[in-house]
Amino acid sequence: MGSDINQAALTDVIASGDRTTRDLGGSHGTTDFTAAMLERL
Protein backbone atom coordinates (compact mmCIF):
# COMPACT_ATOMS: atom_id res chain seq x y z
CA MET A 1 0.00 0.00 0.00
CA GLY A 2 2.74 2.50 0.95
CA SER A 3 4.74 1.53 -2.11
CA ASP A 4 1.74 2.41 -4.30
CA ILE A 5 1.69 5.92 -2.85
CA ASN A 6 5.44 6.28 -3.41
CA GLN A 7 5.13 5.03 -6.98
CA ALA A 8 2.27 7.43 -7.69
CA ALA A 9 4.28 10.37 -6.34
CA LEU A 10 7.34 9.37 -8.37
CA THR A 11 5.29 8.94 -11.53
CA ASP A 12 3.61 12.31 -11.04
CA VAL A 13 6.87 14.19 -10.46
CA ILE A 14 8.49 12.68 -13.55
CA ALA A 15 5.42 13.02 -15.79
CA SER A 16 4.88 16.65 -14.82
CA GLY A 17 8.56 17.54 -15.18
CA ASP A 18 8.31 19.28 -11.82
CA ARG A 19 11.86 19.67 -10.48
CA THR A 20 13.24 16.64 -12.26
CA THR A 21 16.97 15.97 -12.15
CA ARG A 22 19.32 16.21 -15.11
CA ASP A 23 19.33 12.46 -15.67
CA LEU A 24 15.54 12.67 -16.17
CA GLY A 25 15.76 15.59 -18.58
CA GLY A 26 15.33 18.34 -15.99
CA SER A 27 17.71 20.86 -14.52
CA HIS A 28 17.20 20.47 -10.77
CA GLY A 29 19.19 18.71 -8.11
CA THR A 30 18.18 15.80 -5.93
CA THR A 31 17.12 18.07 -3.05
CA ASP A 32 14.53 19.79 -5.26
CA PHE A 33 13.37 16.46 -6.66
CA THR A 34 12.96 15.05 -3.15
CA ALA A 35 10.97 18.12 -2.10
CA ALA A 36 8.63 17.62 -5.05
CA MET A 37 8.18 13.98 -4.05
CA LEU A 38 7.45 14.85 -0.42
CA GLU A 39 4.84 17.42 -1.44
CA ARG A 40 2.94 14.64 -3.18
CA LEU A 41 2.98 12.21 -0.28
The structural domains of the chain, with segments of one domain joined by +, span 2-40
Helix (H) or strand (E) holding 40: helix 30-40
Whole-number pLDDT of residue 2: 82
Surface-to-core class of residue 25, CB atoms within 10 Å of its CB (0-12 exposed, 13-18 middle, 19+ buried):
exposed
Query: Tens of pLDDT along 1-41?
Result: 789 999 999 999 999 999 999 999 999 999 999 999 999 99
For residue 41, what pLDDT is reported?
94
- pLDDT at position 1 is 75
Interatomic CA distance for residues 16 and 36, integer angstroms: 11
Question: Which pTM does this prediction carry?
Answer: 0.84
Name the residue type at position 15. Answer: A
pLDDT of residue 39: 97
Supply the pLDDT for residue 35: 98
